[in-house]
Amino acid sequence: MAGIRTDYNVVFFPSGLRGTFEPGTNLFEVAMKLGVDIATICGGQRECGKCKVIIEEGLELLGDMLPSEAAMLSDEEKRNKYRLLCCIEMPEDGRLVIRVPESSRLGAQRLQTEGLELPEDFVIDPAIKKYHIVLPKATLHDDRADEIRLLEEFKKQYGLDLEIPYEVATYLPIVLREKGGKKKDFDITVVVMDDKKVIAVEPGDTTDRCYGLAVDVGSTKLAGFLMDLNTGKVVGVSSRMNPQIPYGEDVLSRITFAKKGMENLKTVQNAVISGINDMLDEMCEFTGIKHEEIYEGVFVGNTAMHHLFLGIWPKFVTFSPYPAGVRNPIRAPAEKLGLKMHPNSTAYMLPIIRGFVGADQIAAELAVDFLNSDEVILELDIGTNTEMTLGNKDGCMCVSCASGPAFEGMMIRCGMRASNGAVEKVKIDPETREVEYKLITGITSGAIRSCSRFRKTETKAIGICGSGLCDIPAEFLKAGIILPSGQMNRELLGVDPRMREGPKGLEYVIVPAEETAIGKDIVIGQDDIRELQKGKAAMFAGAYLLMKEMGHTVETIDKLVIAGAFGSYIDPMSARTMGMFPEFPLEKIEIIGNAAGTGVRKALVSREERRKAKKYSEWVKFIEAAIHPDYMKIYPDAMYLPNKNLDLFPETAEMLKKLGRI
Amino acid sequence: MAGIRTDYNVVFFPSGLRGTFEPGTNLFEVAMKLGVDIATICGGQRECGKCKVIIEEGLELLGDMLPSEAAMLSDEEKRNKYRLLCCIEMPEDGRLVIRVPESSRLGAQRLQTEGLELPEDFVIDPAIKKYHIVLPKATLHDDRADEIRLLEEFKKQYGLDLEIPYEVATYLPIVLREKGGKKKDFDITVVVMDDKKVIAVEPGDTTDRCYGLAVDVGSTKLAGFLMDLNTGKVVGVSSRMNPQIPYGEDVLSRITFAKKGMENLKTVQNAVISGINDMLDEMCEFTGIKHEEIYEGVFVGNTAMHHLFLGIWPKFVTFSPYPAGVRNPIRAPAEKLGLKMHPNSTAYMLPIIRGFVGADQIAAELAVDFLNSDEVILELDIGTNTEMTLGNKDGCMCVSCASGPAFEGMMIRCGMRASNGAVEKVKIDPETREVEYKLITGITSGAIRSCSRFRKTETKAIGICGSGLCDIPAEFLKAGIILPSGQMNRELLGVDPRMREGPKGLEYVIVPAEETAIGKDIVIGQDDIRELQKGKAAMFAGAYLLMKEMGHTVETIDKLVIAGAFGSYIDPMSARTMGMFPEFPLEKIEIIGNAAGTGVRKALVSREERRKAKKYSEWVKFIEAAIHPDYMKIYPDAMYLPNKNLDLFPETAEMLKKLGRI
């Protein structure tokens, strides 16, 4: 009723989050502002159709659906009062009661921070070092300025020419004369960067407390490591979902949001900074280390994240020829970024190679250590873009291919992130087609900021995550559910009750409705298979192109190294069977986890690694797959499972022959 | 009456400034907050007794005087409801009506910004230069990062290796693609500092607009010069009283205030910054130059001002051995200081020599150009501390002597600044003792922030400023009003009606009450003469010590150069007659005005001058007069007028002999 005032005019269940908003406010924005846990891929751009909600009260207050919204909802959903949050607005009057169904919630997600430990013979040589020094006191016969006194005596004792910046000069006179407790005057510790620039001076001897932060700024997750710069040991670990996700699940959506104006860019930048600050708070609290004892941060991320983290105008990275704003390593004052570290500390971002090969790939190259390797290694980091580097100390090439987000659950109807309730493993008996699946359960990390509360309900299936999706083409192929062309096997219709005609062609039931938390079958359809095929074909083509360019074969390559979060959980055999990469013997395949995390940790505690990173950025030859004439020749064959050219997959071909599939 | 509320509970006349303040608030603070034009030397420390006001209403609401206040007011003043602002507080109830008498007002002050023009052959080579460049556009076959594109093409065209800092990298992609009007994409101007660091990139060709700021940060006044960095020409001039004055007239009082805590230091720092910003506003408005077109500021000041401007903890500069915090030149981000210039610009402060020989003296050395001089020059800049440098390109020595503030009007009962109503020139007939004096009138500069409005009343004498005070000892001596010892000539008592017994010994009337604006005689007493003697003795001793140390005499020195505001107005003959410096022939004496201003302008437009400044800071030998055994031998003789050792003043001695004074 018009004019009636309540405490709130919108409430979300099950979270109970509520508030009062102006008529006309978009409800996706409302949900973001309230911190409602809501799935989204496009970030409210009305593209992904993931933000389905049930309008329990007030449906009549909302306008009619536009065709675009209607197209993304089934008739059944429409009957059940479903709407898309991004397509509706706060009504003039009255109150909305909105239920966010399980299937539209993000939930806690599996996060991976572990990776390779630093090798035992790794030389610790951080950019930041602390030096203790006792200066002669000022007298009438030695009335040098405090700064000159420090410069001259430091040179005498440590042989280094220091530079004392303005910020430190202002308080040097006080620190020099601070007494009390263990502190004596003219007895100080100097925090020095790159053997030259003074970051801070502290009273007394504080050399034993010298810390740094390494962060892998992923588009999905942030992985932070607090390290002791004296020893190179990790003393704290924290991770978070990237708080930029509400502004777009994928980086393109985020850039689309950011490029609307400087304010938007700042919003997206502040989001990731706040996530890193939360991790800092958590690690500092856990370890008893103070924020001011963290004197440097080293960061990596793909080129888009690199720009969005630093606040570099990102628009042009998304337009051909995709030029990055900055390639070289770059130092930004922590204060300007808003990072909760020592006020005079800096954030050091590793260099990138190109628009599509970022600092995270350079970090992976540091982790693999191509520059010290005699062995020829093919490293790949699977994601929406899959970056690959091939080579050894004599030369490296890299490529990025648009493998698409299918293996991350996007574009796949039942796709989801690796969170509780995700099918992470699928086995189908090649003879009986009996389906077995394994669910992710019990992730209790409180690390996810957009998750309003952790659900205690027993886990039931919600969807299928990347590693599950990676099993499906191979399992379908072996069981004859799809043909080598990727076509779903129409002969099973009427024979296998799981195979059925769906709204978008044939589909196969992986989890029946009764075993799910969403109350409907979890299926994989012909359209989903096509997306997965496109993704794996791109990856194969990229890897094969690199091998051809460098004259390598499966035999001359010593190791296939799979890096990254997604790669950590896939079954290499499933990936190989579908032809995601050339048919390497399984013993040559190594899964190394978060290589970017390993690389950034190396860079934090070693200036040699930073020099290597710079070298990689200039020395690794980038191949632009999109315009390479061979790429488009390789790609169509790679759409087949495992490949149209079965000579490349002799073992797989033999196995499929035995099963009678080819 | 208790409880009655009015719009205000205190009002000052003649300004009419008013406000409401809490009971217990110190009235000096109240006056500062309201911007009342009030004289002060000690900055409200209850030491100088200058802030006398008449309580026209509400006297009964104030408490009784403490003995300290009572001691600073005459009986007549007490009868006339005078109080000292710094000694009284807002009463519990009721309203105060306060009149600030003419004698307690600061008034507009004569400011001096002119100085030497740059020599015609002066080579303009500023740290900041602008370069126009058109870059090849990005294509699929040339997809270099924007930053790399700029670095590589700039190197090709101009041969310089640039460094692009974080701040510039963030917006480089936008500027590269800005179109419209005269702007074309990939057509930019790069603002470069020291041939290396990029300060800014701007769309199109802006090379003709490149400006810098030079400021002489004096403890009394600020002199600002806006310069065209392409031509080295001054395009704007502005000056202000240093807005730090309310926190203490002399630098010691200001440091006493600042060292009470970081917040106080910040307050004093912000005061001078706000003064500089006001000058920037004025110059920008006048010239049509935008604040963002000012890419660098160069600053000089004595060591105390250097610290207070930069916010360097100043406490220890005031304690033996008076160590400065910083000696080397120092760059501070304009943004951190709060200067209204280009956001990525910096403030460059010239180096200092010692606690008592600051960047202003180095600037004076640049103005005199010792390093290029064959002639031997003695340069002196008269102030509370008088700094002197003697030498030529083969070597220089400098000294600072505590000449005291007497010649600036402090410690002198009728002393005042060089503002309207000040006696700036005194002539006394040696025979008849007829007194002639000249007043400063008609200064209409609106440059003074603490001056609430300009007085239009006809000027009458208020007090005596430095140049007037400088005449008095010489004129008194010649007229026999004082003896060579400085003793007032008691024989004139009863003979000359102007000579009389005052509360502090003998005194001589310079301006009778009826010719003043303050309604009482302007006199010089024995105590005043003593202060002037002490000051001139210190200066002589410093100069003579330098000459002795370097083996120079009046004959071997080619020039005596007097720099600084005070020095610009004094009569060299008067100064020489009283023995303020050795008896140079008048033709060897040169008055060069604001040498610090000239030096800082040179440094703004020439990196060679900055190298020279650095060299002076290391190369000019500082002599600590206070602990030099000769200084205390020279000083007592120099207390005499002109000197006890008349061999040093043959001409003066002869003249005095002729007059029968010796």
- Say which residue, A410 or A461, is predicted with more confidence: A461
pLDDT score recorded for residue A252: 87
pLDDT score recorded for residue A442: 64
Q: Does B164 touch chain A (CB under 8 A)?
A: yes
Q: Does B306 touch chain A (CB under 8 A)?
A: no
Q: Regarding the domain with residue range B212-349, which homologous superfamily does it belong to in the CATH classification?
A: Domain of unknown function (DUF4445) (3.30.420.480)
Chain B hits for A311, Cβ within 8 Å:
170
- From the CA of B80, how many Å to the nearest CA of chain A? 48
pLDDT score recorded for residue A406: 85
Of A149, A171, A320, the CB nearest to B313: A171
pLDDT score recorded for residue A455: 34
Who's near B56: CB < 8 A, 6+ residues apart?
Answer: B13, B81, B97, B98, B99
In the structure encoding, which two tokens stand for residue B206, read together?
A: 């802006």
Residue A445 has pLDDT above 70, yes or no: no
Residue A177 has pLDDT above 90, yes or no: yes
- Say which residue, A191 or B114, is predicted with more confidence: A191
Who's near B426: CB < 8 A, 6+ residues apart?
Answer: B435, B436, B437, B464, B468, B471, B472, B475, B510
| B172–A148 C-beta distance less than 8 A | no
> B369-405+532-659 has which CATH code?
3.30.420
pLDDT score recorded for residue A447: 31
Report the mean per-residue pLDDT for chain A: 89
- From the CA of A504, how many Å to the nearest CA of chain B? 37
Highest mean pLDDT among A401-410, A423-432, B5-14, B403-412: A423-432
pLDDT score recorded for residue B198: 98
Chain A hits for B332, Cβ within 8 Å:
166
Q: Does A260 touch chain B (CB under 8 A)?
A: no
Chain B: residue whose CA lies nearest to A324 = B145
Looking at B93-171, list the stretches that DSSP marks H as alpha helix, in order from N- to C-terminal side: 146-158, 166-169
Please give, one letter per residue, the 3-state secondary structure of A352-386: CCECCECHHHHHHHHHHCHHHCCCCEEEEECCCCE
- From the CA of B143, how many Å to the nearest CA of chain A? 5
Determine how β-strand B96-99 pairs with β-strand B10-13.
parallel
pLDDT score recorded for residue B473: 97
pLDDT score recorded for residue B115: 45
| A147–B325 C-beta distance less than 8 A | yes
Q: CA B134 to CA B538: how far, in whole Å?
A: 62
Local confidence band at A106 (pLDDT 50, 70, 90 cut-offs)? low
A224: β partners: A215, A238
- Say which residue, A443 or B543, is predicted with more confidence: B543
State which residues of chain B have pLDDT below 70. Answer: 1-6, 15-16, 35, 40-43, 105-117, 442-458
Backbone angles phi, psi at A180, to 5 degrees: 110, 145
Q: DSSP states of A244-295 as a string?
A: TGGG-SSHHHHHHHHTT-HHHHHHHHHHHHHHHHHHHHHHHHHHT--GGGEE
Torsion angle, alpha carbons of B457, B458, B461, B467, to 10? 100
Q: CA B376 to CA B379: how far, in whole Å?
A: 10
In the structure encoding, which two tokens stand for residue B343, read together?
A: 């956001």
| B325–A146 C-beta distance less than 8 A | yes
Q: DSSP states of B524-563 as a string?
A: EEHHHHHHHHHHHHHHHHHHHHHHHHHT--TTT--EEEEE
| A142–B313 C-beta distance less than 8 A | no
| A313–B170 C-beta distance less than 8 A | yes
Least trusted range by pLDDT, from A64-68, A94-98, B167-171, B527-531: A64-68
Q: Does B500 touch chain A (CB under 8 A)?
A: no
Of A145, A174, A333, the CB nearest to B326: A145
Residue A225 has pLDDT above 70, yes or no: yes
Q: Return the CATH fold of A128-203.
A: Ubiquitin-like (UB roll) (3.10.20)
Q: Regarding the domain with residue range A211-349, which homologous superfamily does it belong to in the CATH classification?
A: Domain of unknown function (DUF4445) (3.30.420.480)
pLDDT score recorded for residue A458: 56
Q: Where are the domains of chain A?
A: 10-104, 128-203, 211-349, 361-405+532-659, 416-465+473-522
In the structure encoding, which two tokens stand for residue B315, read together?
A: 């406490």
CATH fold match for the domains A10-104 and A211-349: no
pLDDT score recorded for residue A457: 41
Residue A72 has pLDDT above 70, yes or no: yes
In the structure encoding, which two tokens stand for residue B490, read together?
A: 């008691």
Which amino acid type is present at position B251?
V
Class of domain B10-104: alpha beta
Give mean pLDDT, residues A222-238: 93
Residue A542 has pLDDT above 70, yes or no: yes
Report the Cα–Cα distance between both ends of chain A, in Å, rounded.
68
Q: Does B624 touch chain A (CB under 8 A)?
A: yes
Q: Using one digit for the tens of pLDDT, what is the confidence trace for A240-292?
A: 888 998 888 788 899 999 999 999 999 999 999 999 999 999 999 989 999 99
Chain B, residues 341-370, CB within 8 A of chain A, namely 352, 354-355
Q: Using one digit for the tens of pLDDT, what is the confidence trace for A578-608?
A: 999 999 999 999 988 889 999 999 999 999 9
- From the CA of A308, how many Å to the nearest CA of chain B? 10
Chain B, residues 96-155, CB within 8 A of chain A, namely 138-149, 151
pLDDT score recorded for residue A113: 40
- Say which residue, B168 or A29, is predicted with more confidence: B168
Q: CA B588 to CA B585: how far, in whole Å?
A: 6
Q: CA B406 to CA B429: how far, in whole Å?
A: 24
Q: DSSP states of A305-355 as a string?
A: HHHHHHT---GGGGSTT---S--S-EEEEHHHHT-SS-TT-EEEEPP-SBT
H/E stretch holding A143 reads none
Q: Does A331 touch chain B (CB under 8 A)?
A: yes
Residue A1 has pLDDT above 50, yes or no: no
Q: Using one digit for the tens of pLDDT, what is the confidence trace for A603-636?
A: 999 999 999 999 999 999 999 888 899 999 999 9
